[in-house]
A and B are shown apart, each in its own frame.
Chain A
Amino acid sequence: MSEKQVTRRNFLYVTTGAFAAAGAASLAWPFVDQMNPDASVKALASTEIDLRPIIPGQSITVMWRGKPVFIRRRTQAEIDEAKKVNLADLPHPEEDSDRAQNPEWLVMVGICTHLGCVPLGQKGDYNGWFCPCHGSHYDTSGRIRKGPAPTNLEIPDYVFLNETTIKIG
């Protein structure tokens, strides 16, 4: 039987094909990447908020990266309610202290983790948030309690720049 010989032509054929494939792939990338968030979008990636006008029991909604962010100054009753929940009862167990850097201020992305609607505040069976789209109930810490949503409302990265200002992102 004749052994399969690797000829010069085979070599050229394969290397040419490999270069063409690598070239085509690298040329394709800009056409894909152009749809990713661009420099002007990334430049808006953080937002600073003055907390002074908000009194206890009041919430504001701010825009961050095109999404609503809820900032709620919780009442003592709400904080207590959030703290006394048994973690074993939660579909997505998280301590309230892990969700709020300062118990008085709850900052979270106001987008239902089910399919992206904006939940309504101080509604639902747990006195927290209620999503009108498919009936997910969140508690006073924004944790999912009942309904189709898989996880708690997302907490964005934020820092307290001083007593009365936070920076999201």
Chain B
Amino acid sequence: MSENYAPKSAVGRWFNDRLPLLNLIYGHLLPYPTPKNLNYWWTFGGILTFCLITQIITGLVLAMHYVADADLAFASVEHIMRDVNYGWLLRYIHANGASLFFMAVYIHMARSLFYGSYKEPRELIWIIGVFIFLLMIATAFMGYVLPWGQMSFWGATVITNLFSAIPLVGESVTNWLWGGYAVGSPLLTRFFTLHYLMPFLIFALVILHVWALHVPGNNNPEGINVVQGSQDTVPFHPHYVVKDMFALVVFLVVFAGFVFFVPNLLGHTDNYIEANPLQTPEHIVPEWYFLPFYAILRSVPDKLGGVILMVSAIAILAFLPWLDTSKVRSAKYRPLYRQFVWLFFANVILLGYLGAQTADGLFLIIGRIATAYYFAHFIIILPLLGYIEKTKPLPKSLSEPVLSPEERQMKAAASGASA
């Protein structure tokens, strides 16, 4: 596809002969053959790219005004909100952008789970995605520390203290992270540096993610293999460019709704109080997107055990392509998995709810059951389903499921005649 491309202008040809950059962009964005039946759940890849770029650009301009020093950080954020031209807008886009980024990434991951996009031959796309998710978690957490409010400070304290659970070297590791004996200015400065670096690492991984995707091509709602360039595919441009743009506009409506009408809905009021190392807020919770993992951490009555389980909850995702033993990708053709995957989604949402509650009484008991179920889904249900589930017959092409019986006959006759 891309080999045939020749730029129209003489300058374009001159450039392209020496560095085929235009070829590369052209091949991946314009005629790239895409399954013709991708639904709106597939638009979140483009939305996520938009989110990443938005975070990088708003972050860049915020960094022009922010000061990463424990004595000045909180005031510099207030300076951004009150003094800097449009500072309030830039900060609200960046803060709410992080939340919407996670909202989009969870939908993107759920889509992959539902339609089995992580399966052979797309395992590596999925694993790179898990690493992107890990980097996103680290970036978002460090970013939340930067305003140096009460939640920033105590969130940083709690999360860095997780490392003290490591046997023998725990204390040395935490002191190394802090650059001192408690959370303070050295930690803030290094978090700022890393928070600035990581989005670019994410960007590099996104390029690998898309590159790996474009080798086998997109999965699709039917989950069957599609021959690139056959009648089952359409060029990416204009079909999916327009569809992605439309989805992005709808997404932006939601985004603007948060930024302009409820910019602090997803934040915590406590973070508008400057960090005070002498007093912990009464009710400390992480940002909403970390709540399910926070619930898993708290459900274990052992310090080290809780940390191990929380890390495992994310790490286990990387092994998903081999834990799921079924060869059929899409949940559409897996009657049992279809129910279990919804149960899994509901369980994650339940964990998120529990993560925001106080960890005692009934909440704690339910939290333990939900945590057990989270892992059971991966290490018991998924491996077993591949053996016991009776899957529905897969269609031969993307057209087949949507054709009427007569059309199907006609098509069969036509292909029979041509054969």
Chain A contact residues, CB within 8 Å of chain B: 29-31, 33-36, 38-41
Contacts and interface: CB of A to CB of B under 8 A. Distances in A.
Contacts of A36: 85
B79 A30 contact: no
A130 B197 CA distance: 47
A31 B57 CA distance: 9
Contacts of B61: 31, 34-35
24 contacts: A30-B85, A30-B86, A30-B89, A30-B90, A31-B61, A31-B86, A31-B90, A33-B85, A33-B86, A34-B61, A34-B64, A34-B65, A34-B84, A35-B64, A36-B85, A38-B79, A38-B84, A38-B85, A38-B87, A39-B82, A39-B84, A39-B85, A40-B79, A41-B83
A31 B82 CA distance: 16
Contacts of A30: 85-86, 89-90
A149 to B, nearest CB: 32
Contacts of B64: 34-35
B321 to A, nearest CB: 39
Contacts of B79: 38, 40
Nearest to B249: A20
* Prevailing SS type, chain A contact patch: helix
A40 B90 contact: no
A24 B258 CA distance: 19
A88 to B, nearest CB: 46
A33 to B, nearest CB: 4
A34 B90 contact: yes
Nearest to B65: A34
- Across chains A and B, which 7 residue pairs bring their CB atoms closest together, nearest first? A30-B86, A39-B83, A40-B83, A33-B85, A38-B83, A38-B84, A34-B85
Interface centre among A33, A34, A40 (most CB of B within 10 A): A34
Interface string B265-299: 00000000000000000000000000000000000
Contacts of B57: 31
Contacts of A38: 79, 83-85, 87
Contacts of B86: 29-31, 33-34
Contacts of B65: 34
B85 to A, nearest CB: 4
A27 to B, nearest CB: 10
Contacts of B90: 30-31, 34
Nearest to A30: B86
B413 to A, nearest CB: 36
A95 to B, nearest CB: 39
Interface centre among B64, B82, B84 (most CB of A within 10 A): B84
A39 B79 CA distance: 9
A16 B65 CA distance: 35
Interface in B98-114: none
A33 B85 CA distance: 6
A94 B90 CA distance: 46
A39 B83 CA distance: 5
Nearest to A39: B83
A39 B86 CA distance: 11
A84 B415 CA distance: 105
A64 B83 CA distance: 19
A36 B64 CA distance: 12
Contacts of A35: 61, 64
Nearest to A43: B83
B414 to A, nearest CB: 32
A38 B79 CA distance: 9
Interface string B34-62: 00000000000000000000000100010
A96 B65 CA distance: 43
A68 to B, nearest CB: 24
Nearest to A16: B245
A14 to B, nearest CB: 16
Interface string B14-48: 00000000000000000000000000000000000
A51 to B, nearest CB: 32
Interface string B164-187: 000000000000000000000000
A41 B79 CA distance: 11
Contacts of A31: 57, 61, 86, 90
A38 B64 CA distance: 12
Nearest to A28: B57
A30 B85 CA distance: 7
A146 to B, nearest CB: 41
